[in-house]
Amino acid sequence: MTDQGLRASVDLMRQRGLGPEAIRVFEHYYEQLKGGAQGTIPEDSIEPLREVQRLREVSVSDEEARAALSQTAIIKLNGGLGTGMGMTGAKSALEVKDGLTFLDIIAQQVLALRERWDVELPLVLMNSFRTSEESLEILSKYPDLPVEGLPLDFIQNAEPKLCPEDLTPVQWPADPELEWCPPGHGDIYVSLVTSGVLDALLDKGIRYAFLSNSDNLGATCDPEVAAWMVAHGLPFVAEVCKRTKSDRKGGHLAVRKADGRIVLRDTAMVAEGEERFFRDIKRHDTFNANNIWIDLRVLRERMTEMQGVLGLPIIVNRKNVDPADPASPEVIQMESAMGTAIEVFEGSEAILVPRSRFRPVKTTNDLLVIRSDFFSLDESYHVVAAGDGPEPFVDLDSAYRFVPNFEKRFPHGVPSMKECTSLRVIGDPVFGRNVRCVGEVLIDGYRRVLDDAVLGELPTPVAPPASGTGLRTVDEHLKAILSTLQPSPTQFTPLTEALGLVVARDVRAKVDLPHFDNSSMDGYAVQAASLEGADGSPVRLRIVGEVAAGGDPTFTVQPGEAARIMTGAPLPAGADAVIAVEDTDGAATGEVECRAATRPGRYVRPRGEDVATGAVIVSAGEVVGARTVALLAACGHAGVEVHRRPHVVVLSTGAELVEPGKPLGPGQIHDSNSFMLWAAAVGAGASAEIRAAVGDSEDELLDVLDEVVAEADAVITSGGVSMGAYDVVKSALKGEGIDFVKVAMQPGKPQGYGLLTGPGGRRVPIFALPGNPVSSFVSFEVFVRPALRRLMRLSPEKRRLRPATLISGVESFEGRRQFGRAVVSRSAEGTLVAVPVAGQGSHFVADLSRANALFVVPEDVTELVAGEVVDVLVLDQEA
């Protein structure tokens, strides 16, 4: 590899007007990248951060607080576009609370602090060129906000994106701006220098700066932290919060063994195979809130000493040149993180702050909570929680992922969340007015949540089991399963493999459709004015050429001329209409007689009439079907980013099982369950494979599972979950943390479910189903199918219940939900009728194959007579 890529990159940066410090930093990281740097921090090189000062133990006087704030400026990182939430402008321009944007609230917070402490307290934004104009327009509403001698913003630097093959600058003529990227928020220190803002702040007597993200409304300029920093003469302070399970992906601070300095390790800096250490919230029990305090004099001294190169750890990010197009070429972006500067300044410290100082809005899940009545704004515009408990957990379906779709589904505002602990929405409902969520709320497939609805207030009534053994209800078991699952990762998938999968992000057209003006008829391309009066007196035009579909006409049609043209052929220059061949004499050469007048645009399909370049053609959340594939292909896409199809491994257990096609020995049976479950998994949209049946040995089963978790996204076993002496699945997996329960259903009472740990800490769900074929099939339909559809982000996750009239009566066990087999058909009136099959035993495979539906008898019903209406799950689409 030569230095050609570096020279080309530096030339581009100079042409763009970037300063020498920014170029030196780029050169610094480029040399590291060329040398194979990955920017990782191995676990054995660090120790957990243990002794941390708690903010609640800090005590300062008003005089100390005022003195510290009088020397402090607030700098907000504001370059984000919110593309992950489907936004195109500045993310901070999003209305987030009470009709106010992030920037409105930040401005009001700053003005309130100034009034409370009688200090100047400048606010400065680090913008990108894409966010500056919009952000400054919002802040223009606050004429008292600017501080004399200081700008309201400065523009962060930019650097070329690099081709992974040779580290040369990428070229993307479709949008040359996409050839550039910001160098990560660690660029703030260089941009402060190159913009002149650092010197301007120091000249104003501002010695300290509080740096934070504009989308974190909890990150206010706390005078106690400022005063503590000043009192202890600290050059750099990082705020940390106590880590919970939801923070396992967030960066954390640690102590480097080599020199005892505090370092920051972000997700991208984790060495391969060490994810389990990174996510261990007991070992690393705090996370970096990305709220930073820095001594600007120390920063200026170090920047001067290092000629602008602080030497922050490199972060190597691999992305697509067009973030909205996963099919665009992969590029490398060299980045650094603002918080990693903690290792540069000797004497840096961390301070443990309350969770209230970390309220980022990264997703529409966060947006719903922050907009709800769970939070309010006090007189100082601080975000205040309604109570002391944790904020509600929210998981909205993919239809809500992007802000425009989110807004459409909450046209009258988000629901009340003050009494809510969790809200999970499956499907695509639109919420009405004054909706209230209480406790744990699961919405599954509603088309509309009605006005004034109270959700989750009362549990679903279920009749107690007659045995009094405390069986888990069907709904409880399904909820327990679904609560552990998140949608599969997204991946770019060829169109031929994407059928039935959920689109993960909006797809925009790469070309106009049609791509050129073309004829919708066989005829002649003309200038409409040439045929004026042809209705009364035929007009003869000179034929100057012919254009077939796929042709590229190089001639021009002038007044008095015509070009013979075929359907779909491009319109030649000069022509503005087509006359149909049946309105002419059909001449191929010489002159053509035209017997009808026409108008401009007649029989012409204009370029972009169907789709314009850049228009959204498929939205996130849509399921890829044949028509979707046609549209994507027509608009230039060979593939699409979707939620990955989960891969299911099916295992049957039992020494008595023999592969179909092989002879049976004494006491043996053919393994039908594996093939049935394989087919059911594929039918649900997953990919699947069958592993040979496992005998009645615990060690054998565990060995096989150790192999399959490396490649499976879900594992299904059948058999071995009951009370028998050879129920190997239950005995082997109880020690692996798998939960075995009895569910109040018939058939399928014994069930097992849990998560196996795969390579890199990956969690793989395992479903341990009963061994009788009917029990296994019903269990798949009721529990596994919804889980697989959740992994794929498909909704509804459960089959819809449909009413059908029973032709004959049935009996059921009290306290259990019965799933019986039936043949469902339509009556002459068009309603569904259900005929229960003769054999309802859990071993009747032939009767199972004849059934095309399951009828559902509720727990509190023991008998249904002929003529009653019962809910059915239709298994075949034609029924």
Cα–Cα distance for residue pair 503/514, rounded to 1 Å: 24
Q: Is 760 helix (H, G, I), strand (E, B) or coil?
A: helix
pLDDT value, residue 443: 84
Beta strand spans in 95-135 (E): 95-97, 100-101, 123-127
pLDDT value, residue 725: 46
Beta strand spans in 408-463 (E): 416-426, 430-431, 436-444, 448-449, 454-455
Cα–Cα distance for residue pair 799/353, rounded to 1 Å: 47
pLDDT value, residue 448: 83
- In DSSP notation, 233-252 reads T-SEEEEEEE--GGGTTS-E
Q: Is 395 exposed, middle or buried (0-12, 13-18, 19+ CB in 10 A)?
A: middle
Helix then strand then coil, in percent of the chain rounded to 5, is: 25, 30, 45
pLDDT value, residue 99: 93
Q: Is 708 exposed, middle or buried (0-12, 13-18, 19+ CB in 10 A)?
A: buried
Cα–Cα distance for residue pair 509/614, rounded to 1 Å: 5
Q: Is 813 helix (H, G, I), strand (E, B) or coil?
A: coil
What is the end-to-end Cα distance of the chain in Å, rounded? 64
- In DSSP notation, 545-597 reads EEE-TT----SBPPTTEEEEE-TTPBPPBT--EEEEGGGB---SSSEEEE-S-
Distances (CA, A) of 102 to 145, 170, 293, 369: 15, 34, 21, 15
Segment holding 23, helix H or strand E: helix 20-34
Cβ contact 80:184 at 8 Å? no
With left for phi above 0 and alpha for psi between -120 and 50, is residue 33 left, alpha or beta? alpha
User: What residue type is 834 in one-letter code?
Assistant: A
Query: In what order do the strands lie in the sheet containing 436-444?
Result: 393-395, 416-426, 436-444, 454-455
Residues 6+ apart with CB under 8 A from 313: 39, 41, 263, 269, 336, 337, 340, 343
Which is nearest to 243 in space by CA: 282, 207, 216? 282
Cα–Cα distance for residue pair 754/484, rounded to 1 Å: 9
User: What residue type is 637 in one-letter code?
Assistant: H
Q: Is-above-0.75 flag for pTM?
A: no
Helix runs in 576-667, H state only: 626-634
Residues 6+ apart with CB under 8 A from 340: 186, 263, 264, 266, 312, 313
pLDDT value, residue 37: 75
Segment holding 66, helix H or strand E: helix 62-69
Q: How many residues does the chain have?
A: 879
Cβ contact 474:743 at 8 Å? yes
Beta strand spans in 807-865 (E): 810-811, 817-826, 832-836, 853-857, 863-864
Q: Is the dihedral of CA 346, 351, 356, 358 positive or negative?
A: positive
Cβ contact 347:229 at 8 Å? no
Cα–Cα distance for residue pair 114/332, rounded to 1 Å: 43
Query: In what order do the strands lie in the sheet containing 349-352?
Result: 53-54, 349-352, 236-242, 286-295, 208-213, 72-77, 123-127, 153-155
pLDDT value, residue 847: 77
Q: Is the dihedral of CA 96, 101, 107, 111 positive or negative?
A: negative
Q: Is the dihedral of CA 341, 342, 348, 351 positive or negative?
A: positive
Mean pLDDT by 10 residues, the chain (879 residues): 83 93 93 82 92 92 96 95 83 95 97 96 93 96 96 95 93 91 92 95 97 96 96 96 78 92 87 80 91 97 91 86 80 92 94 94 94 96 89 86 92 95 85 93 78 69 42 90 86 93 88 94 97 95 96 96 97 97 96 96 94 87 93 94 94 77 81 90 94 76 86 90 65 81 92 86 90 92 95 85 91 90 89 82 70 91 90 76
Cα–Cα distance for residue pair 354/381, rounded to 1 Å: 17
In this structure, what are the phi and psi dihedrals at residue 403, rounded to the nearest 5 degrees?
-55, -45
Q: Is 54 helix (H, G, I), strand (E, B) or coil?
A: strand
- In DSSP notation, 306-374 reads TTT---PPPEEEEEESSTT-TTSPEEEEEE--GGGGGGTSTT-EEEE--GGG--B--SHHHHHHHHSTT
Tokens of residue 170, six digits:
């990428």
Which is nearest to 217 in space by CA: 131, 100, 132, 295? 100
Helices (H) and strands (E) in the chain, counts: 20, 52
Cβ contact 181:320 at 8 Å? no
